[in-house]
Copies of this chain bind each other. A is one copy, B any other.
Amino acid sequence: MSFVAHPQTLHFDAPLPLQSGASLRDYDLSYETYGQLNAARDNAVLICHALNASHHVAGVYEGQERSEGWWDNMIGPGKPVDTERFFVIGINNPGSCFGSTGPMHRNPDTGEIYGADFPVVTVEDWVDAQARLLHALGIEQLAAVMGGSLGGMQALSWTLQYPERVRHAVVVASAPNLSAENIAFNEVARRAIVTDPDFHGGHFYRHGVVPKRGLRIARMIGHITYLSDDVMNAKFGRELREAVAQNAGGYKFSTQDVEFQIESYLRYQGDKFSDYFDANTYLLITRALDYFDPARAHGDNLTRAFEATRAKFLLVSFSTDWRFPPARSREMVKALLENRRDVSYAEIDAPHGHDAFLLDDARYLNVVRSYFERIAGSAS
**Is A236 an interface residue, CB under 8 A from the partner?**
yes
Contacts A187-B267, A260-B290, A322-B322 known; list 18 others, CB within 8 Å. Answer: A19-B253, A120-B254, A180-B232, A180-B235, A180-B236, A180-B237, A180-B262, A181-B227, A181-B229, A183-B238, A183-B262, A187-B220, A190-B255, A192-B217, A249-B297, A254-B287, A255-B283, A255-B287
Nearest residue in B to A19 (C-beta to C-beta)? B248
Q: Which residues does chain B contribute within 8 Å of A287, judged by CB atoms? A: 254-255
- Determine whether the beta carbon of B233 is less than 8 Å from that of A179: yes
Q: Which residues does chain B contribute within 8 Å of A293, judged by CB atoms? A: 238, 249
Compute how far the CA of A202 lies from the CA of B263 in the bound complex, rounded to whole angstroms.
Answer: 19
- Determine whether the beta carbon of B263 is less than 8 Å from that of A183: yes
- Determine whether the beta carbon of A120 is less than 8 Å from that of B253: yes
**Is A213 an interface residue, CB under 8 A from the partner?**
yes
**Is A45 an interface residue, CB under 8 A from the partner?**
no
* Shortest Cβ distance from residue A238 to the other chain B in the assembled complex, whole angstroms: 6
* Shortest Cβ distance from residue A226 to the other chain B in the assembled complex, whole angstroms: 11
Compute how far the CA of A179 lies from the CA of B240 in the bound complex, rounded to whole angstroms.
Answer: 13
Instruction: Select one of B22, B178, B185, B216 contacting A191, CB under 8 A.
Output: B216
Sample 18 A-B pairs with CB under 8 A, ordered by A number.
A120-B253, A180-B232, A180-B238, A181-B227, A181-B233, A184-B263, A184-B266, A185-B224, A188-B220, A188-B221, A191-B216, A191-B267, A197-B197, A238-B293, A249-B293, A254-B287, A255-B284, A255-B286
Compute how far the CA of A185 lies from the CA of B262 in the bound complex, rounded to whole angstroms.
Answer: 10
- Determine whether the beta carbon of A290 is less than 8 Å from that of B20: no
**Is A344 an interface residue, CB under 8 A from the partner?**
no
- Determine whether the beta carbon of A120 is less than 8 Å from that of B255: yes
**Is A259 an interface residue, CB under 8 A from the partner?**
yes
**Is A195 an interface residue, CB under 8 A from the partner?**
yes
Nearest residue in B to A185 (C-beta to C-beta)? B224
The 10 closest A-B pairs by CB, nearest first: A20-B253, A255-B283, A180-B232, A120-B253, A195-B213, A188-B220, A180-B236, A181-B229, A187-B263, A180-B262
